[in-house]
Structure 1
Amino acid sequence: MRTILISGANSGIGLNIAHKELKAGNRISIGLRDLESVKGSVIDPNNWTNEKILLNKYDALDKFSAKKWVENTVSKFGGFDTLINCSGVLSKVPFLYKDGDEEEILNTFNINFLAIWHLCRISWKHLSQSNNGRIIVLVSMSGKRSKGDLAAYSSSKFALMSLCQTMKNKGWEENIRVTAICPSWVNTKMAEKISSIEKSKMTQPGDIAEICSTILKLPMQSVPFEIALNCNYEI
């Protein structure tokens, strides 16, 4: 049985991962800006035993809330061995940004990169002590290549991919394995804002939940670092 911290679990990919891991018998600790956002959903705590799920107030821009989340999880479950980062924000700020766009650019980096770095950093000791630690980060294909002119978003994801590579290096001898999942179009609310691909032809959130489930079952010597997913052909 694993004890898993999951960010961004109020919808989409994170919600599907949380539900699948609950059904698998694992314990999950979820960080949410709005604790009411999962009410009536498949991970509504009212539908699960108190020993299996913990909701925590978490804002990616509030370092104190991240610290409290980790502390609450350790207090309730005695520790944890897995961190899955699904939170993120879309930005359409282009390379030739307008004066005044700097705030959105910084906000994009703070949420998509620095907040994840901070959460991984303060979780590191607990993940290492588990002797079978896992970090899974939903990076995006935009962290591997840049298409179009989403400069702020893609740059934040390239930075995140670099962080994953560094964590892989550091974690190798510290009982932590890191996996960066890099999908292109996923059928989520974010994709609706920028893609014209039919929803049925996109990667589905449940597909990524299945991939995460497999990763968590693999032995330390067989955990993949990078998983790239394309729902459409790219040159």
Structure 2
Amino acid sequence: MIFSNRFKNRNAIITGGASGLGKAVAARIVAEGGNVVLWDQNENLLQAAAVETGAKGVIAVDVSDSEAVNNAVTKSLEFLGKIDVLVNAAGITGATQPVWEFPIDSWLRVMDINLNGLFYCCRSAVPHMLNNNYGRIVNIASVAGKEGNPNASAYSASKAGVIGLTKSLGKELATKNIIVNALTPATFDSPILEQLPQSQVDYMRSKIPMGRLGLIDESVAMVCFMASEECSFTTASVFDTSGGRTTY
């Protein structure tokens, strides 16, 4: 269901915007009257995503590089004029191995993208929101950050960190008209599943009481509520789209 003009005069940065949840959220925000700039590492996918979503602009950026993030915020302001919404959807899964065999380089890369990168994005965007006395930040976490998935320690730990950062930042900004929340989806059909063996996908599906994977539009709807003015009295919190797996 599209809510006409829900994002009228609102401008959003979407990280991980070239595919999956990020791209789908961008398309919904544009359809509801907003403007978006897509960030992603994959420049080729970005160009196609811009056409599909109607984005105002695209920026190829590795969010694990703090200076690149600062530059991308500056360039985004050239496209948008101001920043009202930040959706941090960039993320990778990393290796699928037990802790004692987990490759150190994979651990570090997952932390750099999923947690450090999200921190850099918030750190760079928040001052502009403070100047405008308005902001909505949505951080994409995971049920893995609540429960921990076996053979996915880096991903689980990074997403637990996202939840903790969200709670801290939301409380820091609670009197500033800047709302900060996180989403903890269970597995849904997305390009990120291509990074995982089928056995891992089957395990995650087996943990969902509804007995199915999520639909991307179910998480898009929740993200867009959190990113809108309608979400005005819930901050530093976590919204669940897990089919009953994590109801806390």
TM over 0.5: yes
Residues 125-134 or 16-25, more deviating:
125-134
Establish whether residue 17 from structure 1 lines up as the match of residue 25 from structure 2. yes
SS of equivalent to 1:220: coil
Match of 2:219 among 192, 208, 221: 208
Q: Aligned residue for 1:53? A: 56
1:96/1:131 Cα in 2 relative to 1: closer, same or farther (>3 Å)? same
Structure 2: gaps of 5 or more residues: 1-8
Match of 1:153 among 136, 140, 155: 155
Structure 1: gaps of 5 or more residues: none
1:225/1:44 Cα in 2 relative to 1: closer, same or farther (>3 Å)? same
**Structure 1 residue 85, shift from structure 2 partner:** 0.5
Q: Is the 8 A contact 1:57 1:65 kept in 2?
A: no
Distance 1:93 1:135 in 2: 32
Residues 211-220 or 158-167, more deviating:
211-220
Q: Is the 8 A contact 1:93 1:105 kept in 2?
A: no
Which residue identity lines up with residue 212 of structure 1 in the other structure? V
1:123/1:30 Cα in 2 relative to 1: closer, same or farther (>3 Å)? same
Distance 2:29 2:41 in 1: 21
Residues 225-234 or 121-130, more deviating:
225-234
Q: Is the 8 A contact 1:84 1:135 kept in 2?
A: yes
Q: Aligned residue for 1:86? A: 89
Q: Aligned residue for 1:195? A: 201
**Structure 1 residue 78, shift from structure 2 partner:** 2.0
SS of equivalent to 1:4: strand
Q: Aligned residue for 1:44? A: 51
**Structure 1 residue 83, shift from structure 2 partner:** 0.4
Q: Aligned residue for 2:184? A: 182
Distance 1:65 1:89 in 2: 18
Q: Is the 8 A contact 1:94 1:152 kept in 2?
A: no
Q: Aligned residue for 1:169? A: 171
Q: Aligned residue for 2:35? A: 27
Which residue identity lines up with residue 134 of structure 1 in the other structure? R
Distance 2:127 2:104 in 1: 34
**Cα deviation digits, residues 92-122 of structure 1 (max 9, x gap):** 2422125xx2111111111110011011001
TM-score (norm 2): 0.83
1:224/1:160 Cα in 2 relative to 1: closer, same or farther (>3 Å)? closer
1:95/1:34 Cα in 2 relative to 1: closer, same or farther (>3 Å)? closer
**Structure 1 residue 2, shift from structure 2 partner:** 1.0
TM-score (norm 1): 0.87
Which residue identity lines up with residue 25 of structure 2 in the other structure? I
Q: Is the 8 A contact 1:139 1:180 kept in 2?
A: yes
1:129/1:219 Cα in 2 relative to 1: closer, same or farther (>3 Å)? farther
Match of 1:4 among 12, 18, 21: 12
Q: CA RMSD in A?
A: 2.3
Which residue identity lines up with residue 25 of structure 1 in the other structure? G
SS of equivalent to 1:31: strand
Q: How many residues align?
A: 227
Which residue identity lines up with residue 204 of structure 1 in the other structure? L
Q: Aligned residue for 2:112? A: 110
Distance 1:224 1:164 in 2: 6
**Structure 1 residue 148, shift from structure 2 partner:** 2.1
- Percent of residue pairs identical: 19
